[in-house]
């Protein structure tokens, strides 16, 4: 046989015997804005705030129109996002760390976090932004699965310290520059970890109050300083995307963008067409923007109105990256999230979430339940007389004030059909008593087992800053 032909045949034979190289697992960048309203992006209908980067991510991925935050205020929302669990399973009862939760308390290090899941699968893990789950070393990001952390421990209205790992950033604190600095840190992390899969959590402080524009962005927006801050955040996300493209990582990077809860009621933020704000279990407090984009794995140009929650991201992103999250869990906390990856991909399979409990920010008991298109408040006062219930259009506020006067019993329910009545101002509890009964029956076992797989908050003294 010809020696050259023999060599070619041998090479082909060896190639067929070698195991196929496994495709690289996708990277994940999970971006969270702070107090961004449902309506506050161009792709969600805002007429004045320009967000071309996020609009493009939405047009080239999937935009979710029925996505709900983990809670309606900062700390429990972030607990839920990190663990896939309702925050009451982490010991939360009310408020945020530094307000109604003492500074020396935080989420237990025993809780399984999405960062720990990804790190156990040889992902590099990093956070750049606002943590707000615990101020001490035992409750900080380095104790919760993150290899690297550039972060503030509390909200930007509660602290003047930025931490790089266990040391303080020596630069003077400047609220106007936080979005830029968090982005710079995120880019450093991406460049340093580009040779292996990474999980990056980027919880911006923007546009949480005090809303202060970067000096180079002041006055750019036609929606005042709030618009300046949102538009800068959009631009910074674009800077990250450019780095991914430069490093040839864009095709294998999943980007998720969302908000931690609805808008602060005294800010110019909007939740149109929904009523309610931060601290409220109304749609305006819990329904937030969410965009999922992955050129290598998600069909472009879609909009989904399926019910999805922030707690679903842990199982869904794990699934997308080939990680068996169930094998990692010890049942504490019990994971309430469900895998909705097929829905995000655009596969024609049955959607996995049909029901969701909702909390306002000052009670460990859920105030409402959504099932399909129906939403039931167990006590009508939480729909018409609670925190954030007077945030909305003038017509919505007037209707809410009128209905507040009709509440006659302490535990009188309020029922809404969200498709027909997104403002939650037409109480159908009297007209549809069978639906009230149905939702109460669905809610009963869910409420009864909220203590299953529960962890308490833990105490952890905030450590003094170690100067570099």
- Catalytic residue annotation: 74, 132
Q: Are 48 and 228 in contact (CB under 8 A)?
A: no
Question: Angle at which helices 224-246 and 52-59 pack, to 10 degrees?
Answer: 60
Kindly give the residue spans of alpha helices, DSSP state H, lying in 341-432: 341-345, 381-384, 394-404
CA geometry: angle 122, 123, 124, nearest 5 deg: 120
Torsion of CA 418, 420, 424, 425, to 10 degrees: -160
CA 443 to chain centre: 24
What is the 3 state secondary structure string of 4-41? HHHHHHHHHHHHHHCCCCCCCCCEEEEEEECCCCCCCC
- In the chain the first and final C-alpha atoms are separated, in Å, by 71
**d(C-alpha 141, C-alpha 161), whole Å:** 15
φ, ψ of residue 148 in degrees (nearest 5): -135, 145
Beta strands 96-97 and 100-101, pairing class: parallel
DSSP code of 175?
Answer: G
In this structure, the chain runs to a length of: 468
Beta strands 124-130 and 290-293, pairing class: unpaired
Q: Are 111 and 332 in contact (CB under 8 A)?
A: yes
3-class SS at 287?
A: strand
Beta strands 198-203 and 167-168, pairing class: unpaired
Q: Are 22 and 9 in contact (CB under 8 A)?
A: no
**d(C-alpha 35, C-alpha 16), whole Å:** 54
The neighbour count for residue 446, using CB atoms within 10 Å, is 15
Torsion of CA 279, 285, 291, 292, to 10 degrees: 60
């Amino acid at each position: 046989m010809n020696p050259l032909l023999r060599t070619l045949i041998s090479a082909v034979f060896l190639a067929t015997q070698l195991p196929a190289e496994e495709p690289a697992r996708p990277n994940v960048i999970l971006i969270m804005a702070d107090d961004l309203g449902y309506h506050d992006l161009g792709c969600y209908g805002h007429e004045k705030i320009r967000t071309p980067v996020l609009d493009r991510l939405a047009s080239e991925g999937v935009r979710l129109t029925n996505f709900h935050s983990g809670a309606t205020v900062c700390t429990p929302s972030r607990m839920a996002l990190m663990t896939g669990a309702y925050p009451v399973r982490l010991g939360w009862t009310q408020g945020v760390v530094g307000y109604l939760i003492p500074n020396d308390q935080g989420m237990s290090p025993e809780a399984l976090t999405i960062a720990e899941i990804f790190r156990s699968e040889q992902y590099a893990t990093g956070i750049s932004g606002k943590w707000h789950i615990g101020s001490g070393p035992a409750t900080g990001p380095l104790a919760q699965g993150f290899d690297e952390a550039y972060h503030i421990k509390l909200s930007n209205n509660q602290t003047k310290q930025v931490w790089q790992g266990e040391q303080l950033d020596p630069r003077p604190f400047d609220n106007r520059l936080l979005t830029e600095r968090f982005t710079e840190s995120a880019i450093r992390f991406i460049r340093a970890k580009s040779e292996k899969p990474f999980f990056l959590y980027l919880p911006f402080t923007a546009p949480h109050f005090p809303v202060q524009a970067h000096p180079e962005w002041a006055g750019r927006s036609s929606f005042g300083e709030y618009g300046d801050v949102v538009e800068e955040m959009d631009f910074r996300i674009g800077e990250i995307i450019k780095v991914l493209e430069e490093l040839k990582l864009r095709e294998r990077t999943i980007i998720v963008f969302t908000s931690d809860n609805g808008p602060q009621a005294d800010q110019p933020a909007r939740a149109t067409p929904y009523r309610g704000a931060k601290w409220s279990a109304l749609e305006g407090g819990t329904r937030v923007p969410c965009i999922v984009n992955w050129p290598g794995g998600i069909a472009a140009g879609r909009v989904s109105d399926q019910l999805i929650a922030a707690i679903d991201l842990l199982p869904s992103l794990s699934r997308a990256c080939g990680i068996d999250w169930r094998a990692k869990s010890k049942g504490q906390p019990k994971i309430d999230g469900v895998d909705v990856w097929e829905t995000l991909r655009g596969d024609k399979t049955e959607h996995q979430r049909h029901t969701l409990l909702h909390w306002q920010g000052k009670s460990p008991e859920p105030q409402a339940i959504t099932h399909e298109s129906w939403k039931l408040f167990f006590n009508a006062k939480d729909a018409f007389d609670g925190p954030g219930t007077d945030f909305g259009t003038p017509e919505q506020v007037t209707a809410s004030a009128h209905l507040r006067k009709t509440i006659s019993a302490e535990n009188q329910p309020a029922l809404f059909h969200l498709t027909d009545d997104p403002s939650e101002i037409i109480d159908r509890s009297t007209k549809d008593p069978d639906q009230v009964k149905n939702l109460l029956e669905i809610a009963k076992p869910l409420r009864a087992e909220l203590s299953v797989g529960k962890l308490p908050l833990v105490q952890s003294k905030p450590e003094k800053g170690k100067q570099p």
